[in-house]
Amino acid sequence: MPVQMPDINLVTMLPEILIAILGLVLLLMSAGQDAERGRKVNAMALAGVIAAAALTVVTANGSSFGGFFVVDPFARAMKLLMLLATGMVLYMSMEYMRDQKFDGGEYQVMTLMALLGGMIMASAGDFVVLYMGLELMSLSIYVLAAWRRDDVRSNEAGLKYFVLGSMASGFLLYGISLIYGTTGTTLFTGVATALSHGHISTATIMGVVMVLAGMSFKVAAAPFHMWAPDVYEGAPTSVTAFMAVLPKIAAFAAIFRVLLIAFPALQSHWNPLLQLLAVASLAVGAIAAIGQTNIKRMLAYSSIGHVGFILLGLTAHTGLGYQSVVAYLAIYIFMSVGAFAIILLLNKAGVGDEIEDYKGLGHKRPMLALLMALFMFSMAGIPPLAGFMGKLYVFMAAVQSGMMMLAVAGVLFSAIGAFYYLRIVKFMYFDQPAEGAFGMELDFSARAILTVTGVVMLVWGLFPGALLSWSGASVKMFQ
Amino acid sequence: MVADLVFYLFAAVTVAAALGVITSRNQVHSVLFLILAFFTTAGLFVLLKAEFLAALLVIVYMGAVAVLFLFVVMMLDVDFESLRAGVKEHLPMGLFVGAVILAEFAFILSGVHVDEAVQTNAANIPNTQLIGQVLYTKYLFPFEIASLVLLVALIGAVVLTLRKRKDAKRQHIPSQIARTRDEAVELVKVAPGQGA
Amino acid sequence: MLENYFPILVFLAMAIGMAVVMQVLSFLLGPRKPDAKKVTQYECGFSPLSAVRIPFDVRFYLIAILFVVFDIEAAFLFPWAVAFKQLGMIGFVEMILFLLVLLVGYAYVWKKGALEWD
């Protein structure tokens, strides 16, 4: 029997190939004896991420491996966000990594592999590819979370993430097998065709539910969020910053692809689930964060809340809704990276992760406190900052498609959530600092990241036009 | 007829072994039960004429994964009796979740219609070859990603568990080969009665 | 096709049967007179002083993981080898790529000294 080779179109996947080869080269470098290799590996990784971003912009639409790998405006946008987030996190953690003796080189390799997995997920046109990308990303991040191997909490973070993540992968895989079993294909477009004519069996619907459950775990949407606070708290801060951004973008990209390309026919089945996830995430993000005393835990709950908003935008199923999701993701990256950059900086100076430790930051380091306040206000959704714009467009989309109750719930929980963001601001400005606290120096990378993220908060808050037109263009294909 | 009998035999042993995994007091016994479950599952695959999967189960799962489990069980210094103490309280919750999943299975199976076309293997090609013809053509891309996943597992294991002992004596082959007589041996003339 | 496995089934049945018969026979025929001293556990004539199970070295884990990874790599080779004729040149190249990635991993592991036992 002759075999049919799929069309192999390597040009469409140049960014991925670059990252993969770079990862292999850096791995070989990290096995070397060179004491300065950490710095070199970091510089090369950063250069590679920038080059991959440039390649991503110029790659044309197309597909490879018989539709298994797809490049379209949406995939490009998501990959750009991922590259941006990874680049920023790598850049800002350089000093931190040197302090923590993370600079053997493997750390960057794992980061790049996670990024590669995420990029593959964003371009997946097939369930098997989606699963492999997800595993590549998750496996790398499990290892990164446990990186500080002599620290019990870091170990706990890695182990907890791994055990629960494997279970989520199991769900996902089981769902995929049900979908394959009932439709006879793993290709997204093939599944859509099979479902558009032909009866839809309960097994397919169960498959969709399982896939959605698995993906919800990855974005930490309630009620699949249990792991997030512990893992965020226990992992090294540079890793927490990374996993607050990359897996979320990747998993949302995958959710978009699966639901809108493979299962448009089942929208009446999965949309109520999405709404449930959205409301639950909003509630958990707003209410459970209030009692937190650890800032990383608090940001974990805050990220659950943001996931709720993003899901809310997705449930609207209008052009505006999809657009608001992409815009919100972009804004979320900058808010999150900015806030974590400050935590990282303070960590390096020996300041702990407790919110109490931030007492009096406003008196000692007014600029840092101002920026922290900026990110907190933005997360709370206070105008005229970018976070407000993100929420505004989500609410507009929800109202436009007649989901009045959900929009009201969103506003309500957003108001409750504002409380705990403001609490940090209160600690920073209305309490006295401890003797000799906050005596660190700002290195160039920290200044650069904080300047960029801070400026973005203001610019996107005041002039959201460019962001909106970009996000609008990236989701045009789903309408 | 014989095949049916063998199927029920293997299936029954699989279920019993799986129960053994979660109920036996000794963790090592649990792993041995797991190996038995893998083995009988391999038997079930043979009955389905999926010989390659059966071989895979024996080679990878019984040969490697089970050994890994055994190592891990022996490595962990965990007081299993204390872990067991919580079982009574968690049993109702566990049974509930199990019941839900069972109901789900029943629900799914009730709605499945089996597509006969999927089952045929008209040319009677060995299934290892069939898998090869699909895996390395249609599923080429996921296959290549698999190599990266394996690589990440490898790096992760090294990074998280490799500890270099400072006091260990290691081979350093180039310097061992480059050693000359002069630096290795010192000839000392010892006067009688002066040796210490 | 399934008939080909009949000898294996018979073989399996005999192996299990022999083991069971021998166990049962020794259970039935062997004299057993247990008493308190006989069934008490001991080490060198004393009651055990501590738990006898000591944890394994973590290095076993590393070896086992490396074995699993390369075992899976080998498992991928079987269907490839069987279908090699049909796959042609592309099949050859793709497997070389796959092996190359793992070869980089192997070089890394070797250079790191993870294959040494110290």
Chain C contact for A5 (CB, 8 A cutoff): yes
Chain C contact for B59 (CB, 8 A cutoff): yes
Chain A contact for C103 (CB, 8 A cutoff): no
What is the mean pLDDT of each successive set of 10 residues along chain A, which is 479 residues long?
A: 78 94 93 80 93 93 91 94 95 85 86 96 95 96 91 91 94 92 89 85 88 93 90 93 94 94 90 93 90 90 94 90 94 95 87 84 87 92 90 92 89 90 89 74 86 92 91 87
C76·B143 Cβ contact <8 A: yes
Chain A contact for C95 (CB, 8 A cutoff): no
Terminal C-alpha separation, chain C: 51
Amino acid identity of residue C3, one-letter, is: E
C108·A5 Cβ contact <8 A: no
Residue B171 has pLDDT above 90, yes or no: no
Bond prior to A223 in cis (omega within 30° of 0)? yes
Give residue ranges of A with CB < 8 Å to any B CB: 1, 3-6, 8, 20, 23-24, 27, 64-66, 68-69, 106, 109-110, 113, 116, 120, 126, 128-129, 131-133, 135-136, 139-140, 142-143, 146-147, 149, 158, 178, 181-182, 184, 201-203, 206
C107·A1 Cβ contact <8 A: no
- pLDDT band for position B114 (cuts 50, 70, 90): low
Number of domains in chain C: 1
C98·B49 Cβ contact <8 A: no
CATH fold for domain B1-84: Four Helix Bundle (Hemerythrin (Met), subunit A) (1.20.120)
Chain B contact for C116 (CB, 8 A cutoff): yes
Amino acid identity of residue A149, one-letter, is: R
Chain A contact for C58 (CB, 8 A cutoff): no
pLDDT at site C1: 64
pLDDT at site C49: 72
pLDDT at site A314: 92
Rg (CA), chain A: 22
Residue C37 has pLDDT above 80, yes or no: no
B141·A1 Cβ contact <8 A: no
pLDDT at site A3: 73
pLDDT at site B8: 94
Window C:45-104, CB contacts with B under 8 Å: 53, 55-62, 64-69, 71-76, 78-84, 86-87, 91, 94-95, 97-99, 101-102, 104
pLDDT at site B90: 80
DSSP alpha helix (H) spans, chain B: 2-23, 27-47, 51-56, 66-75, 80-84, 87-110, 116-119, 127-135, 140-161, 173-177, 181-184
Residue of C nearest to B67 (CA): C64
Question: What sign has the CA pseudo-torsion A73, A80, A220, A377?
Answer: negative
Q: H or E stretch including A67?
A: none
Per-position b or e across A265-296, b if 16+ CB within 10 A of its CB: bbeeebeebbbebbbbbbbbbbebbeebebbb
C86·A1 Cβ contact <8 A: yes
Give B146-169 pLDDT, tens digit per residue.
999 999 999 999 998 887 777 777
**Residues B54-72: what's their mean pLDDT?**
88
Tell me whether residue C56 is in a domain: yes
Distance (Å, whole) CA A3 – CA C85: 10
Closest CA to A168 of A119, A108, A231, A91: A231
Tell me whether residue C85 is in a domain: yes
Distance (Å, whole) CA A447 – CA A455: 12
pLDDT at site B111: 65
Residue B122 has pLDDT above 60, yes or no: no
Q: What is the CATH number of the domain that holds C82?
A: 1.20.58
Tell me whether residue C117 is in a domain: no
What residues of chain C lie within 8 A of the CB of B56, using their CB?
75
- pLDDT band for position B106 (cuts 50, 70, 90): confident
pLDDT at site A96: 85
Distance (Å, whole) CA A327 – CA A105: 33
Q: How many CB atoms lie within 10 A of CB A67?
A: 16
Q: How many CB atoms lie within 10 A of CB A101?
A: 9
Its ipTM equals 0.92
The CA distance from C104 to the nearest CA of chain A, in Å, is: 7
By three-state DSSP, how is residue A225 classified?
coil
Residue B125 has pLDDT above 80, yes or no: no
Among candidates C86, C90, C111 on the partner chain, residue whose Cβ is nearest the Cβ of A31? C111
Distance (Å, whole) CA B137 – CA A11: 19
**CA-angle at B25, arms to B24 and B28, nearest 5°:** 80
The two structure tokens encoding residue B56 = 């895979």
Contacts of A19 (CB under 8 A, 6+ apart): A48, A49, A52, A112, A115, A116, A119
pLDDT at site B34: 93
pLDDT at site A402: 87
What residues of chain B lie within 8 A of the CB of C78, using their CB?
52, 55, 128, 132
Neighbours of chain B (3+ CB pairs under 8 A): A, C
Chain A contact for B97 (CB, 8 A cutoff): no
The ranges assigned to domains in chain B are: 1-84, 124-156
Among candidates B137, B145, B148 on the partner chain, residue whose Cβ is nearest the Cβ of A3? B137
Terminal C-alpha separation, chain A: 42
For chain C, the average pLDDT equals 86
Q: Which of C6, C54, C71 has the most B C-beta neighbours within 10 Å, making it the best mutation to test the interface with B? A: C71
Residue B119 has pLDDT above 60, yes or no: no
The two structure tokens encoding residue A58 = 């110029």
Contact of A281 with A311, CB cutoff 8 Å: yes
Tell me whether residue C118 is in a domain: no
Q: By residue range, what is the domain housing residue C90?
A: 2-112
Beta bridge mates, A69:
A64, A124
